[in-house]
Amino acid sequence: MTTPTPGLSRRRFLALTGAAAGGAFAVGCSPASSTNTPAAAAGTSSSAKGAVTVMSQSGEFGPKEAKAASQALGLTVKTVEYDLTKLTAMLASGNPPDVVRGMGATDTAYLAAREVAVDLDPYFAKSTLIKADDIDPVNDLWRFDGQKQGAGPRYGFAKDYSQDAMLWYNSALFDAAKVPHPNSAEPLSFDELLDLGRRLTKRQGAKVSAYGLNANGLSLFVTLCGMTASAGGKVLADDLASVDLTSPEALRAITWYLDYAKAGIGPTVLNPDPNGWDGPTFQAGRMAIATDGYWFGGLFGGDAKNAKLAHLLPAPQFGTGTRISPCYGATGLWMPKAGKNKDAAWAVMEWFLAGDPAKARAAGGWGIPPLKSLQKLMPQTQPFQKEAYQVQQAEQKYFSVMTFTPYVRLDAIDAIVGRELPKAIKGTTSAAQFADTLTTQINAQLADGKKRLR
Amino acid sequence: MSSTLTEVRRPAAATVTAADRRRKPLRKARTFYLFVAPWLLGFIGLTVFPLGYAFWLSLTDSDGLSPRTHFVGFENYVEIFHDPLTLSSLAKTGLFALVTVPLSILAGLLLAVMLNQPIRGRGLLRALIYLPAVVPPVGAALTFRLIFDRDAGAANGILSGLGANPITWLVDPNVRYVLYALVLWGCGGAMIISLAGLQDIPRELLEAAQVDGASYWQSFTRIIVPLLSPVILFQVINGVIASLQSFAPLLLSSGSLSGAGTVPQGNYLYMIHVFAQYFSASRFGYASAMLWMLFAAILLVTLVIIKVSARTVFYTVEPEGKK
């Protein structure tokens, strides 16, 4: 049967449109962009009523917290699981959540430079729960003045914080390996730490049944920055527009990490932890030493078995005379400028960061409270909590922060590190070549980001 | 009298027939477009418009967030041809399509031929083999991650049982084979399509060939494959498009769409790079340009396949539009 339609046949029409749809699907999946100025009209909503959407992790601000917030504040509070992809798409489409989880240490400069986050100073000024003299200095990580972090308006607030290079160890694995417990009053040197990791790793044939050490921390790039600082150097330039990982101090940090990775004693990009993070692996007795801050102790409050085994240690050092113990996260909440219900969003933020949930977090040992008045609630009832509290108090003297660049996201830098690292671990490239490649590629990204912010 | 009436009626009847003949194609075309209109409207609203928007984005340096966006012309398109990561990801994607599309179709066809035989429990076997195709991709990828984990996975457990050393499956270069296995695991979909095609082949043709003394191989290559060729063409076009847009490596590496940066280089396909540009590097302009290039590549590849298929695909019924 034929159709006298000249030109495009139906079959061809369907084939071509099918192909076009296939290709277009790929293009069409690009999220809409808000190249328009964010709708930040003052007085969009002046009353703390209506609906608020919070994007966070369900373990931090999930449906349970949303229900409690709704009851406490008389608002409708909904939650969306935190996902960077989803957040970027929502921000780009001009329809973001009202409150978003973020890491003050690495997100603030990026968000502020792009005029995405609300300047919260007016809200802090009229807050009844958060007083200026009660704010822990760690919250300065959420400030950016256009040039540097730590000054200027506040764009968010930490829900809790930790000194993220500190270590937790499992004493049962030390005992099983007949390795003496480390002294929690003194920091380990990185060499001692690597040696411990080697001795504590349990193998079954060629397989690792228990990691000796996880040295990765929150992000490998910031971990390397912290280690470089401990070695007496710095990675990010003062203008935040370039990095140098080829300095002797940075190379010392990189060489140490490559030694760790080549030893096969802990998770790396070549042998990732199947659990994705330290918690379940440590609790299952499959990780002897984890690089996690005080907050990690919150896991053991209700875990009687691990409460007897878990111990906190100071952050390891290179022994150059510069003892530091940095905070890499200061995880908290911020408000997108394009949010529709800012007053209500602030009410939810204030309640979560300084109200009853903040007290519960403080008492549960989930990090150091960002308000000085809540720090007295940090738990000391169980022996491990008391010990961890004392170690943490002693470590506070060495608290430090690291400024992050406004020009690229940490994810973009970590992607470069993750892409080049396997070659260095396998020995295809030397530590120096690895450092050189990272420096070149990260600087190219920074230059591109800076150009786009002009 | 009656002849007069006949004479009067004849021209009238002839006029109606001529008008009908003119209107019939128009009516058919109208009906056709009316039927496709809902899809067409959706296509325009949900695809053509975003496509245009993405094209506009591709001419800017948008980061998706900042209000400061600059028009950069075709700078992003030029960069694509100078970006080694983009070019290598494109090459890997081409290789991925070249390997997985024929393998999936062949595996599906082989299974379809086997399960088209009158064997006991073939219904159950068909269901079991098709089952992986309906498992959500995220679930399948997570399962594969667990199976191929170096220290706790079943694959290395079996190797250990056989006295062999464990293999780090989920990193380069082995992760590529895990990815191929993951794609092949879902070949039940191809099997069902081929099975439907096989059951549409007239039995008389095969019986006639048998009577003429043809072997099974001759019947397969001279009758079954030619009659299945439209079905195979359908699978080739869909398979190529799907593999060029594949996200499977991302799911295999991180189990979520946020981990584009964690995908091993062996599996760093084009769409993973696009995703990384959008959501890690926040380079919306460049990523949109990359998608437009992919769109053009898909169109080109599809046109080439359709052109080549004109000489190799056999239709039992002449396709509409062909004289």
Q: Do B234 and B102 fall into the same domain?
A: yes
Q: Do B156 and B249 fall into the same domain?
A: yes
CATH number for the domain harbouring residue B299: 1.10.3720.10
Structurally, chain B folds into a number of domains equal to 2
Is ipTM over 0.90? no
Contacts of B26 (CB under 8 A, 6+ apart): none
Tell me if B46 is assigned to some domain: no
What b/e string do you get for B218-231 counting C-beta neighbours within 10 Å, with b at 16 or more?
A: ebbeebbebbbbbb
Residue B5 has pLDDT above 80, yes or no: no
Q: Which residues of A touch B244 (CB under 8 A)?
A: 26
Is pLDDT larger for residue A342 or for residue B149? Answer: A342
Tell me if B58 is assigned to some domain: no
- Work out the average pLDDT over A55-65: 91
- Work out the average pLDDT over A418-430: 91
Tell me if B76 is assigned to some domain: no
In chain A, which residue's Cα lies nearest the Cα of B323?
A: A2
CA angle B123, B125, B126 (to 5 degrees): 65
Question: Percent of chain B beyond pLDDT 70?
Answer: 90
Q: What pLDDT is stored for residue B316 in this prediction?
A: 72
Digit-coded pLDDT (tens) for A265-279: 999 988 888 788 899
Q: Do B208 and B304 fall into the same domain?
A: yes
Q: Which residues of B touch A419 (CB under 8 A)?
A: 261, 265, 268
CB B159 within 8 A of CB B166: yes
Please tell me whether residue A391 adopts helix, strand or coil conformation: helix
Q: Do B10 and B100 fall into the same domain?
A: no
Digit-coded pLDDT (tens) for A210-259: 999 999 998 999 999 999 999 999 999 999 999 999 999 999 999 999 99
Residue A404 has pLDDT above 90, yes or no: yes
Q: What pLDDT is stored for residue A223 in this prediction?
A: 95
Residue A431 has pLDDT above 60, yes or no: yes
- Work out the average pLDDT over A150-177: 95
- The pLDDT mean for chain B works out to 86
Residue B58, min C-alpha distance to chain A (Å): 10
Tell me if B162 is assigned to some domain: yes
CB contact under 8 A, A206 and B261: no
CATH fold for the domain made of A51-160+329-401: D-Maltodextrin-Binding Protein; domain 2 (3.40.190)
Q: What pLDDT is stored for residue B67 in this prediction?
A: 79
Q: What pLDDT is stored for residue B231 in this prediction?
A: 93
Pick the CATH number of A167-327+408-452 from 2.102.10.10, 3.40.190.10, 3.40.50.620, 3.40.50.10210: 3.40.190.10
In chain B, which residue's Cα lies nearest the Cα of A266?
A: B151
- Work out the average pLDDT over B250-275: 77
Q: How far from the centroid of its chain's Cα atoms is residue B177's Cα?
A: 20
Tell me if B287 is assigned to some domain: yes
Residue A5 has pLDDT above 60, yes or no: no
Residue B133 has pLDDT above 90, yes or no: no
Q: Which residues of A touch B68 (CB under 8 A)?
A: 452-454
Q: What pLDDT is stored for residue B163 in this prediction?
A: 84
Residue bearing tokens 């001529």: B18
Residue B249 has pLDDT above 80, yes or no: no
Q: What pLDDT is stored for residue A26 in this prediction?
A: 42
Residue bearing tokens 């050092």: A317
CA angle B48, B50, B52 (to 5 degrees): 70
- Work out the average pLDDT over B140-161: 85
Q: Do B192 and B253 fall into the same domain?
A: yes
Q: Do B129 and B275 fall into the same domain?
A: yes
CB contact under 8 A, A23 and B265: no
Tell me if B320 is assigned to some domain: no
Residue bearing tokens 């990523």: B287
By mean pLDDT, which of A9-13, A38-42, A218-222, A422-426 is the weakest?
A38-42
pTM score: 0.80
What residues make up the domain containing B280?
A: 84-312
Contacts of B113 (CB under 8 A, 6+ apart): B194, B198, B220, B224
Q: Do B21 and B132 fall into the same domain?
A: no
Is pLDDT larger for residue A271 or for residue B42? Answer: B42
Q: What pLDDT is stored for residue B282 in this prediction?
A: 87
Q: Please state, in angstroms and rounded to a whole number, the distance separating the CA atoms of residues A293 and A313.
A: 9
How many CB atoms are located within 10 Å of the residue B188 CB? 22
Residue B114, min C-alpha distance to chain A (Å): 30
Q: What pLDDT is stored for residue A35 in this prediction?
A: 30
Best interface-test mutation with B: which of A10, A17, A30 has the largest number of B CBs within 10 A?
A30
- The pLDDT mean for chain A works out to 87
Q: What pLDDT is stored for residue B256 in this prediction?
A: 59
Tell me if B75 is assigned to some domain: no
Residue A34 has pLDDT above 50, yes or no: no
Tell me if B319 is assigned to some domain: no
Residue B278, min C-alpha distance to chain A (Å): 8
Q: Which amino acid is at A332?
A: G
Digit-coded pLDDT (tens) for B214-242: 998 999 999 999 999 999 999 999 999 99
Phi (first) and psi of residue A76, to 5 degrees:
-95, 110
- Work out the average pLDDT over A364-386: 93
- Work out the average pLDDT over B280-284: 88
Q: Which residues of B touch A416 (CB under 8 A)?
A: 261
Q: What pLDDT is stored for residue B259 in this prediction?
A: 67
Q: Do B100 and B183 fall into the same domain?
A: yes
Q: Do B19 and B109 fall into the same domain?
A: no
In chain B, which residue's Cα lies nearest the Cα of A416?
A: B261
Residue A131, min C-alpha distance to chain B (Å): 32
Phi (first) and psi of residue A149, to 5 degrees:
-85, 150
CB A401 within 8 A of CB A326: yes
